[in-house]
Structure 1
Amino acid sequence: MKKRIVLLTLALTAILSLTSCGGNSGNASPAEKPAASAGSETPKPADEAPKSAEAEKEVPETSVIRWNYGTSGNVLVTIAEEKGYFEEEGLTIEFVSATANADAMALLATGKTDVVSNSGTSNPLQQIASGVDLTVFGGHMVDGSMPVVAKKGTKWNGVEDLIGKKFACNPSYFAFTGAVMDLGYEDPLSAVEWVVYTNYNDALAAVVRDEVDYALQGTGQNYAVKNMDEVDIVAYQGDVMPNYSCCRLVTQTSFIEENPITVKHLMKALIRAQQYYEANKEEAITLQAENIGTSEEYVAAYMLNDNYVVNPDPLKNPVIRAWDILDKTGFLSEKAKNIDIRDHINTELYKAALDEVIAEHGDEDPEFYKDLLAFYEENNS
């Protein structure tokens, strides 16, 4: 079977170490204990005196985080900024623009941004496999509401319908190749005719022209395809592989090593933002539409879909699964054989943040935080 696969490779540049400044305040020496007078209570030494909440609060090593979250935005960042969660944690987010996933990863590799959140899972893992020292420490979308479209009236029975068909999708999208392998096909690249286009609009046009049988579309394409007469949405990527991890929060490993308090406080703000998002989705649609400069109808087309799932959890187990699939299908560098991907996933700071948020705000929504803990145990243990 003829395969048309266009593989995009990133030119990797040397990593520039990130530096940050921060300090720890030392404790003053205890005051000398005065003699007790008759009938008076013995005073406590100065070092035993109650500390104010402000004195107890940790100070982030750096207060400004340079962040790329793509043109589609990040609803958790939007909420955390709007509701003041970042400010409460002593943080300011500085948006760094990039026109494509490859550009965002290049900015991260060269130290021009601190965090990338909308560049998928394959891109960061391929960078790590090539020798770039990155760490996955959290998440954005778990399921990105990415629709699979076909000509109007096409029936969908499952991923088996892709076998032997032309599918406009880059096979580095591991949810599909992994699902094909789960059917028993050792070589998913031969089982399906993968056709790669430079953008989703071209892939969509190919379906309309009968050049391909199916096409994967991006999150932001939901509004367009739902309003087209020529095509149907037959499935979503999350139907093919639940919790496939979609977009991870990624940074240079050195940034985490130098700024652990900053990262923990960042995760606390995002966890609180998710709680607010789950309880106020209609308002979240309005906020996100304003943030990315589009209509509420456009945002609602994907955000109100059951296949749109956001969660700042690192998803250690799904990331390891993605790494294994990419390795088996040849989308990782040979250097990957000498890399343990577990060394590039940090779950400790997210869990510490979650524990602190539950202690501070858990009584505001006990059921939500109970579910969040269960989700963490399921995906990271």
Structure 2
Amino acid sequence: MKKGIVLLILVLITTFALAGCTGNTENNVSTDVEEQTTGSDATQIEDTVGGELETTTVRWNYGTSGNVLVTIAQEMGYFEDEGITLEIVYGTENADAMQLLSSGKVDVVSNAGTSNPLQQIASGVDLTVFGGHMVQGCMPVVARAGTEWNGVEDLIGKKFACNPAYFAFTGAVMELGYEDPLSAVDWVTYDSYNDALAAVVKGEVDYALMGTGQNYAVNNMKDVEIVTYQGDVMPNYSCCRLVAQTDFVKNNPNTIKAILRALIRAQQYYEANKEECVKLQAKSIGTTEEYVSAYMLNDHYIVHVDPLRNSIVRAWGILDKTGFLSEQAKEVDINDHINTVLYENALKEAKEKYGSEDPEFYDRMMKFYEENDL
């Protein structure tokens, strides 16, 4: 029986190894956020109120880990209300999602993190962020049982199984005063979270970052424990963004707003019915409710439709300073690739139409937008 349980856990780890989001970051690293938060006119597309949808079928990639807001919007008929039909196109990795997007095989990607699309933009691919999925994933940092954790300073000089493109950690190390975070920590990369977890168990590394989907497994292991979460290291670091080719956003503003209105309604339902959403998401991705509950009912798991401009700008600065953007990035104003106008208008329209159902929710949404995008 014990062997069967272990095998089941390992299967879950392998199957959902990509349920975590790719590296991203926020807060006070000197990335000139204040000077870059206005955006250019080229990105802030002129909006039309109540216009007809330019496209009614949208090809969407959300990877193997699913997207709870999309699940809710489909299950509750919110996309249907907006006249939108989703055609789900699957990819097995974040790199696959970016390839699908850049090649025009999908219209929207929602689960490929923040660093992946930013690196694409830096290399010359014309993409626009117009919304969000997870503000932060429930990504735990694990160590062998009994390991003391005092903060990010404990990573200094230690072996950390984490891709340094996960800018929340390099940014946090820079905040400690280390100009070269790549030298301050011994970053070790593995092909999968499963391999990184095994390295912790064997004592080959001191700490390892796990994906959101690994919470169920690590919570059921006696020889490792969670010492912190990526969201504690850098709150609201910007996990997974809604990204499309810039031409798609420019040519389909009413469709984009319809998508956002449906997802905003889904977020309201999610926040009011998390237990029910656990069941919906478990069914959607074909796993158990216990597996989904392990991260979805954890306070570190935060989903939000907001584009999160300020966090994206911060992430861009950290990735640039740590050498994870191409030289072309010097010629790119990342604000030209973030659209907040369509989200703001979609939020206002959703509030006007549905605000009476939950006034406090829509007030929180507008306050969050003002704090994170203006």
Shorter-chain TM-score: which interval? Answer: 0.7 to 0.9
Aligned equivalent of 1:229: 222
For 2:360 and 2:252, the matched residues in 1 are separated by 31
Cα displacement string for residues 4-40 of structure 1 (whole angstroms, at most 9, x for unaligned residues): xxxxxxxxxxxxxxxxxxxxxxxxxxxxxxxxxxxxx
Cα displacement string for residues 166-212 of structure 1 (whole angstroms, at most 9, x for unaligned residues): 00000000000000000000000000000000110000000000000
- Tell me which amino acid in the other structure corresponds to 2:53: P
Aligned equivalent of 1:356: 349
For 1:351 and 1:193, the matched residues in 2 are separated by 42
Aligned equivalent of 1:345: 338
For 2:207 and 2:244, the matched residues in 1 are separated by 34
Aligned equivalent of 1:25: none
- 1:123 and 2:86 correspond: no
For 1:285 and 1:149, the matched residues in 2 are separated by 24
Aligned equivalent of 1:211: 204
For 2:96 and 2:247, the matched residues in 1 are separated by 20
- 1:70 and 2:73 correspond: no
Aligned length: 326
Query: Which of 365, 371, 374 is matched with 1:378 structurally?
Result: 371
Q: Give the secondary-structure state (helix, strand or coil) at the position aligned to 2:179.
A: coil
Aligned equivalent of 1:162: 155
- Alignment TM-score, normalising by the size of structure 1: 0.85
Q: Which of 1 and 2 has greater Rg?
A: 1
For 1:266 and 1:57, the matched residues in 2 are separated by 14
Aligned equivalent of 1:278: 271
Aligned equivalent of 1:80: 73
Runs of 4+ in 1 over 6 A off after TM superposition: none
Aligned equivalent of 2:328: 335
Q: Aligned-pair distance for 1:155?
A: 1.4
Cα displacement string for residues 213-267 of structure 1 (whole angstroms, at most 9, x for unaligned residues): 0000001000000000110000000000000001000000010011010000000
For 1:374 and 1:180, the matched residues in 2 are separated by 30
For 2:322 and 2:360, the matched residues in 1 are separated by 40
- Tell me which amino acid in the other structure corresponds to 2:126: D
Question: Which residues of 2 match residues 128-147 of structure 1 at below 5 A?
Answer: 128-147=121-140
For 1:327 and 1:265, the matched residues in 2 are separated by 34
CA contact (8 A) 1:145 1:238 kept: yes
CA contact (8 A) 1:320 1:341 kept: yes
Q: Aligned-pair distance for 1:363?
A: 1.1
For 1:85 and 1:57, the matched residues in 2 are separated by 17
Aligned equivalent of 2:42: none
Identity over the aligned pairs, expressed in percent?
A: 73
The RMSD of aligned alpha carbons is 0.8
For 2:56 and 2:217, the matched residues in 1 are separated by 39
For 2:359 and 2:254, the matched residues in 1 are separated by 25
**Mean Cα displacement is larger for which, 161-170 or 360-369?**
360-369
Cα displacement string for residues 128-181 of structure 1 (whole angstroms, at most 9, x for unaligned residues): 000000001000000100000000011111111100000000000000000000
Q: Give the secondary-structure state (helix, strand or coil) at the position aligned to 1:371.
A: helix
CA contact (8 A) 1:59 1:90 kept: no
Question: Which residues of 2 match residues 11-90 of structure 1 at below 5 A?
Answer: 58-90=51-83
Give the unaligned 5+ runs of structure 1. 1-55
Query: Which of 219, 239, 247 is matched with 2:232 structurally?
Result: 239
For 1:234 and 1:126, the matched residues in 2 are separated by 30
For 2:293 and 2:343, the matched residues in 1 are separated by 29
For 1:377 and 1:305, the matched residues in 2 are separated by 26
Aligned equivalent of 2:176: 183
For 2:59 and 2:149, the matched residues in 1 are separated by 42
- Tell me which amino acid in the other structure corresponds to 1:254: D
Give the unaligned 5+ runs of structure 2. 1-48
Q: Give the secondary-structure state (helix, strand or coil) at the position aligned to 2:196.
A: helix
Q: Aligned-pair distance for 1:57?
A: 5.1
For 2:114 and 2:165, the matched residues in 1 are separated by 10
- Alignment TM-score, normalising by the size of structure 2: 0.87
